Chain A
Amino acid sequence: MLTQSLTSDIHVMDRVLADYHAVDFSSCTDEDVLEALSAQTTSIRDFAALLSPCAGKYLEQMAAKAKALTEQYFGVNKCLYTPLYIANYCVNHCSYCGFNCTNKIHRAKLTMEEIEQEAQAISSTGLREILLLTGESRFHSDVEYIGEAVKIMRRYFNTIGLEVYPMDVSEYEYLHSLGADYVSVYQETYDRDVYDKVHISGPKKVYDYRFNALERAIQGGMRGGGLGALLGLSDFRRDAFGSGLHAYWLQKKYPAAELSFSVPRLRPYVNNDDNQSGVGDRDFLQVILAYRIFMPFMGFSLSSRENAAFRDNCAALAPTKISAGVKTGVGGHSEEEKGDVQFKTSDERSVDEIYNALLKRGLQPVFNDYVYIIDAV
């Protein structure tokens, strides 16, 4: 059984947090970085060195290694997908998010007819992979509502991912049985104190339940999942280290799970234009490259939080997945957005534009890299 671990005695959170707290980036030396760059397989220690301030001056060497590894594992393929926000009601008060329940924005929830229209509009652009998103509201967007949306997606797309609130195993099982196969849950920050501070109220306040969500998703039969930290909430190096460790131990425990990194940076949102990450492009790129070198076999998605130039230049170095034709408001693919956006996107290019930009760089945009075999039991 894939949903059971062969090494079930691994307690992922304990392992992650032990190293997360112990790491000391300031002690990493040039020698450590060079050793990490020449290592055949990258150890946790090497990963720390690659994230350290000292590695900043080796960005070029890191990029060369990351690019070679990405090509070794994935060739020049870049899968295209788009997120579809079906509801933005949220009961959480998170200090950094535009959907937070105290933010006075236009709230909406798509009807099934509207979801179908969105699916039609998106699939007509050629996309075959969809990521469904909601805010966290079990009242406005309950599991059944998400399930009905998944059923509609099934008719238009091959790959269905979910970026919704964390759930129980049985709920993941249910959504998996309807056709969803990937789940993204971002821990935002691995620092418990900061986590508690930025999640002012709401169910998201429970750190452990969120942390363990990916494991529950895998146990519920999901093929894989996405994880990452929202860089800028806390010490970005330590948080990047935390999500790398999270992936490392999850993979050890569930070797078949297809895990994927995401590297969101804080973005301004409606009524808060100052919500900047403070993580500069060089540091940000260093994190991306360190992830890739540490876990060269993992998926990697680069969202439209980043601008076109950054994404285009970065595409060959680490990502396996690139979003295109992105709207972060509710709906907006078939007609006007019905609810306000979660964050302001930096890359608003259409699927065609991204497709051509990738080709121009000698990269192969891929619409489908998935076979639906959920019923193969």
Chain B
Amino acid sequence: MQDNLIIGGHAFTSRLLLGTGKFTLDKMLSVIENGGAQIVTVALRRANAGGEGNILDYIPDGITLMPNTSGARTAAEAVRIARLSREMGCGDFIKIEIIPDTKYLMPDNIETLKATEILANEGFVVLPYMNPDLNVARQLVNAGAAAVMPLGAPIGSNKGLRTKELLSILIAEIEKPVIVDAGIGRPSQACEAMEMGADAVLVNTAVASAKHPHEMALAFKKAVEAGREAFLAGAGRVLATQAEASSPLTGFVE
């Protein structure tokens, strides 16, 4: 049986989503190809329609574009950017990024929820970037989000799955795809997220800041595939390090 990632009714075989914002444009093609990515996110603010160095011109055909609302600080701004994105022919996928904090770049869950509601009603395939809060994740899904995209660590930090406990709760409880976005710095961390049962991961800085980005993209592809296969295979029980209790706790029943 085909193991597809389904987002907003679209099926994808790749579970590695790539960001495009941090390397030179001439590396784009080899990174996307090596990573086997079928979905890439692009900041709409980087678009330069009809002008030079337009990032959109560098995305290969056949790739599903997931424009993001980078630069938005409120729901109103994110909604405006999403509509612009659609007008520019960037499709219906939209990753909501609402960041009213320049220092830590933390997403604003409350504004994100508001924007999700509006954009889902307008027929967008809404993918909200969020702090991994279970209650907000549920509300986002109720509001029409096609997936949730919780952060593993502060964006760009390469620190790995610092929010692991919270991510595992979302993975267990949220029926829509859980895509771990932000913070993943190494293939082993991407693999771990997938082993935990995340539906996909999104990586940008880890690839862009590697000495050889296209080779790192390949490493991530393999890691994500390995993690997914391990998850599907059902990892064995981890043995407890403590000895069993000496007198049985259940000896009182026959």
Q: Are B53 and A298 in contact (CB under 8 A)?
A: no
B21 CB contact (under 8 Å) in A75, A297, A371 = A75
Contacts A2-B100, A298-B102 given; does A364 touch B74 at CB 8 Å: no
Does B44 have its Cβ within 8 Å of any Cβ on chain A? Answer: yes
A250 to chain B, nearest CB (A): 10
Does B139 have its Cβ within 8 Å of any Cβ on chain A? Answer: no
Report A-chain residues with C-beta under 8 Å of the C-beta of B100. 2, 255-256
Cα distance A71–B52 in the bound complex, in angstroms: 23
Q: Are B74 and A2 in contact (CB under 8 A)?
A: yes
Q: Are A364 and B24 in contact (CB under 8 A)?
A: yes
Secondary structure type dominating chain B contacts: loop
Does A112 have its Cβ within 8 Å of any Cβ on chain B? Answer: no
Chain A, interface residues (CB within 8 Å), range: 20 to 34
Q: Are B80 and A255 in contact (CB under 8 A)?
A: no
Q: Are B53 and A365 in contact (CB under 8 A)?
A: yes
Q: Are A72 and B157 in contact (CB under 8 A)?
A: yes
Cα distance A368–B46 in the bound complex, in angstroms: 5
Q: Are A364 and B25 in contact (CB under 8 A)?
A: yes
Contacts A72-B157, A77-B21, A376-B77 given; does A371 touch B101 at CB 8 Å: no
Cα distance A364–B20 in the bound complex, in angstroms: 12
Report B-chain residues with C-beta under 8 Å of the C-beta of A362. 24
Q: Are A72 and B101 in contact (CB under 8 A)?
A: no
Please report which residues of chain A, range 342-377, place their CB below 8 angstroms from some CB of chain B when the two chains form the complex: 359, 362-371, 373, 375-377
Does A73 have its Cβ within 8 Å of any Cβ on chain B? Answer: yes
Please report which residues of chain B, range 12-40, place their CB below 8 angstroms from some CB of chain A when the two chains form the complex: 21-25
Q: Which residue in chain B gives the minimum CB-CB distance to A363?
A: B24
Report A-chain residues with C-beta under 8 Å of the C-beta of B101. 255-256
Q: Are A126 and B24 in contact (CB under 8 A)?
A: no
Cα distance A256–B46 in the bound complex, in angstroms: 19
Q: Which residue in chain A gives the minimum CB-CB distance to B49?
A: A368
Q: Which residue in chain A gives the minimum CB-CB distance to B69?
A: A371
Cα distance A164–B75 in the bound complex, in angstroms: 31
A256 CB contact (under 8 Å) in B73, B76, B79, B156 = B73
Does A196 have its Cβ within 8 Å of any Cβ on chain B? Answer: no
Cα distance A369–B101 in the bound complex, in angstroms: 18
Q: Which residue in chain B gives the minimum CB-CB distance to A2?
A: B73
Does B105 have its Cβ within 8 Å of any Cβ on chain A? Answer: yes
Report B-chain residues with C-beta under 8 Å of the C-beta of A75. 21-23, 205, 208-209
Does B109 have its Cβ within 8 Å of any Cβ on chain A? Answer: no
B71 to chain A, nearest CB (A): 6
Cα distance A365–B105 in the bound complex, in angstroms: 23
B156 CB contact (under 8 Å) in A73, A158, A251, A255 = A73
Chain B, interface residues (CB within 8 Å), range: 35 or more
Q: Are B45 and A72 in contact (CB under 8 A)?
A: no
B53 CB contact (under 8 Å) in A158, A363, A367 = A367
Report A-chain residues with C-beta under 8 Å of the C-beta of B156. 72-73
Does B4 have its Cβ within 8 Å of any Cβ on chain A? Answer: no
B158 to chain A, nearest CB (A): 7
Q: Are B81 and A371 in contact (CB under 8 A)?
A: yes
Report B-chain residues with C-beta under 8 Å of the C-beta of A257. 102
Cα distance A72–B73 in the bound complex, in angstroms: 21
Contacts A126-B51, A367-B52 given; does A72 touch B102 at CB 8 Å: no
Q: Are B80 and A375 in contact (CB under 8 A)?
A: yes
Report B-chain residues with C-beta under 8 Å of the C-beta of A364. 23-25, 53
B23 CB contact (under 8 Å) in A76, A297, A367 = A76
Q: Are B205 and A369 in contact (CB under 8 A)?
A: no
Q: Are B102 and A251 in contact (CB under 8 A)?
A: yes
A373 CB contact (under 8 Å) in B51, B77, B208 = B77
Report A-chain residues with C-beta under 8 Å of the C-beta of B25. 364
A10 to chain B, nearest CB (A): 14
Q: Are B46 and A373 in contact (CB under 8 A)?
A: no
Does A259 have its Cβ within 8 Å of any Cβ on chain B? Answer: yes
Report A-chain residues with C-beta under 8 Å of the C-beta of B102. 251, 255-259, 297-298
Does A327 have its Cβ within 8 Å of any Cβ on chain B? Answer: no
Does A176 have its Cβ within 8 Å of any Cβ on chain B? Answer: no
Does A216 have its Cβ within 8 Å of any Cβ on chain B? Answer: no
Does B121 have its Cβ within 8 Å of any Cβ on chain A? Answer: no
Does A128 have its Cβ within 8 Å of any Cβ on chain B? Answer: yes
Does A74 have its Cβ within 8 Å of any Cβ on chain B? Answer: yes
A8 to chain B, nearest CB (A): 15
B46 CB contact (under 8 Å) in A76, A369, A377 = A369
Contact flags (1/0) for B66-108 with A, using CB distance below 8 Å? 0000011110110111001000000000000000111101000
Cα distance A77–B218 in the bound complex, in angstroms: 23
Most B-side CB within 10 Å, residue of A71, A365, A369:
A369
Q: Are B21 and A367 in contact (CB under 8 A)?
A: no
Q: Are A370 and B71 in contact (CB under 8 A)?
A: yes
Cα distance A255–B79 in the bound complex, in angstroms: 21
Contact flags (1/0) for B195-225 with A, using CB distance below 8 Å? 0000000000100110000000000000000
Q: Are B48 and A370 in contact (CB under 8 A)?
A: no
Q: Are B53 and A366 in contact (CB under 8 A)?
A: yes
Q: Are B81 and A373 in contact (CB under 8 A)?
A: yes
Which B residues lie at the A interface, using CB under 8 A?
Answer: 21-25, 43-48, 51-53, 71-74, 76-77, 79-81, 84, 100-103, 105, 156-158, 205, 208-209
Which A residues lie at the B interface, using CB under 8 A?
Answer: 2, 71-77, 126, 128, 158, 251, 255-259, 297-298, 359, 362-371, 373, 375-377
Shortest 9 CB-CB contacts between residues of A and residues of B: A75-B22, A376-B80, A256-B100, A368-B48, A126-B52, A364-B24, A373-B80, A255-B101, A371-B45
Given contacts A71-B209, A367-B51, A368-B46, 13 further A-B contacts (CB under 8 A): A72-B157, A72-B205, A72-B209, A126-B52, A255-B101, A256-B100, A256-B102, A297-B103, A298-B102, A364-B23, A364-B25, A369-B45, A373-B77
